Chain A
Amino acid sequence: AQSVTQPDIHITVSEGASLELRCNYSYGATPYLFWYVQSPGQGLQLLLKYFSGDTLVQGIKGFEAEFKRSQSSFNLRKPSVHWSDAAEYFCAVGLGTYKYIFGTGTRLKVLA
């Protein structure tokens, strides 16, 4: 069955530290991959997406993600976290023509 796993429910990092949020998926073909961010009381905002081509994709707010087919992963990274990055992050997989499956999210806390 298709699934998306975000193993870390909560992550705490210090401001200025690097960040990596993990995402693994289970799907028979190459999916479309997305990272969304949800700030408190807000809807989801797209950070970046992967459809094909270069496996390292750049997004907004200084985020990047790397698609690794061999590991079925699409981890999100940022070299230096800002306090405003505190939010919940969702990995999503697009399957076929319309269906999306979301992970359960990783809540990021940033220490000053």
Chain B
Amino acid sequence: GAGVSQSPSNKVTEKGKDVELRCDPISGHTALYWYRQSLGQGLEFLIYFQGNSAPDKSGLPSDRFSAERTGGSVSTLTIQRTQQEDSAVYLCASRDRGLNTEAFFGQGTRLTVV
């Protein structure tokens, strides 16, 4: 695709429900990142994929959070048993191989847990 696409753009869910957030990276980009941006905060790293594997998932805040990537392309971030503190904008970014490359970001999914 022309850019990183995230869906849905907005999601309102009830506390305790599970949600899935989708990221479609730029075609051919091998690296994929998920970040969380809370109100007034910077970007909090969640997980990094290289291809389909996740060598760094150190930023996932709890075992309620998981992510997968299939076919070296689409990634899904799943939050189980959502809590109000999970409310944030979830940003996905992808990057081409090589050190001298920058990350391209999607427009994010705004998650509101009520």
Contact at A103–B107, with CB atoms within 8 Å?
no
For window 53-111 of B, CB contacts with A under 8 Å fall at 55-56, 91, 93, 95, 99-100, 102-108
* Given A102-B42, A105-B42, A43 and B99 contact (CB-CB distance below 8 Å): no
Residues 43-65 of chain A: 1 if any B CB is under 8 Å from the residue's CB, otherwise 0?
11110010100000000000000
Q: Please, which residues of chain A bring their CB within 8 A of the CB of B48?
A: 98-99
Contact at B42–A90, with CB atoms within 8 Å?
yes
Q: Please, which residues of chain A bring their CB within 8 A of the CB of B105?
A: 36, 43-45
* Given A98-B31, A100-B103, A43 and B42 contact (CB-CB distance below 8 Å): no
CB distance from A104 to the nearest CB of B (A): 4
Beta-carbon nearest neighbor of B99 in chain A: A97
Contact at A32–B99, with CB atoms within 8 Å?
yes
Contact at B33–A100, with CB atoms within 8 Å?
yes
Binding site for B on A (CB under 8 A): 32, 34, 36, 41-46, 49, 51, 90, 97-105
Q: List 5 A-B pairs, minimum CB-CB distance, nearest first.
A: A104-B42, A43-B105, A102-B43, A44-B105, A43-B107
